[in-house]
Amino acid sequence: MAALLELDNIRKSYGTGTAVETEVSHGIHLTLQPGEFAALIGPSGSGKSTLLNIIGLLERASAGSLKLSGVEMTQASEDELTRARLTTLGFVFQFHNLLPAFTALENVQMPGLVLESDFTAPRRKEALTLLEAVGLKGAEAKKPGQLSGGMQQRVAIARALALSPKLVLADEPTGNLDTKTADDIFVLLRRFNVERGTAFLVVTHDPDLAARCDRVIRLVDGKIAADAKHEAGEPLA
């Protein structure tokens, strides 16, 4: 099976060419297969957010190779990066980043609007299906301010899946939620992983959540310190 994501010797520096140049990612090698459900863990300052931004094509690596579905992305144009983000990747953040002036339904349709410059009938149908799947049937016309934090995160998950991405990057998706709601959100991510075959890379500080993933990647000081398959539900070593 061809790899979904391939990172080869990825390095990232800030302040390049100056006296304060700092390298924060040090030769990272990482491969994700279609349908994997992996956790990315590590202490604050270990480079998790930087790595996620590089994988998400939000920042360019300073050196190395990044391939998505076998396509080299490191020299891609901005238009090519934007299209790859829309068609291959989905994003879920700790603070859901919904647009407050738009309804839940419109927020879920937003990736389709960016891709196709219109709210099309097929995208609307898929958005309605996704909102029902995340337990928000009947809330389609509500705006984010009318929804609880957990409901807003459900909308964000539906939005992340709107264009059927191959890989969803989730950055602390339960970090702003109470324990019960966080568990519900995690169960939703898992369900979409199983039912749709969508791969997930979940950044988390929560060891209990990480222990429920099938693979745990530990980042320390900008390097992968450990990367191992994990029996979901077993405590982390």
For 66, the enclosing helix (H) or strand (E) is: strand 63-68
For 165, the enclosing helix (H) or strand (E) is: none
Confidence of residue 236 (pLDDT cuts 50, 70, 90): low
Where b means 16+ CB within 10 Å and e means fewer, 139-163 reads bbebebeebeebbbbbbbbbbbbbb
Query: What per-residue confidence (pLDDT) applies to 34?
Result: 94
Give 193-205 pLDDT, tens digit per residue: 998 899 999 998 8
Give 73-110 pLDDT, tens digit per residue: 988 999 899 888 888 999 888 777 899 999 999 999 98
CATH 3.30.310.10 fits 36-61+77-229, yes or no: no
The rounded Cα 118 to chain-centroid distance in angstroms is: 24
What average pLDDT does this structure show over 164-174?
Answer: 88
Domain residue extents for the chain: 36-61+77-229
pLDDT above 90 (res 49):
no
Query: What per-residue confidence (pLDDT) applies to 143?
Result: 94
Query: What per-residue confidence (pLDDT) applies to 228?
Result: 86
Confidence of residue 172 (pLDDT cuts 50, 70, 90): confident
Percent of the chain with pLDDT over 90: 35
Q: What is the DSSP letter of 218?
A: E
Which residue type is seen at 28?
I
pLDDT above 60 (res 233):
no
Query: What per-residue confidence (pLDDT) applies to 10?
Result: 92
Query: What per-residue confidence (pLDDT) applies to 199?
Result: 95
- The pTM of the whole model exceeds 0.85: yes
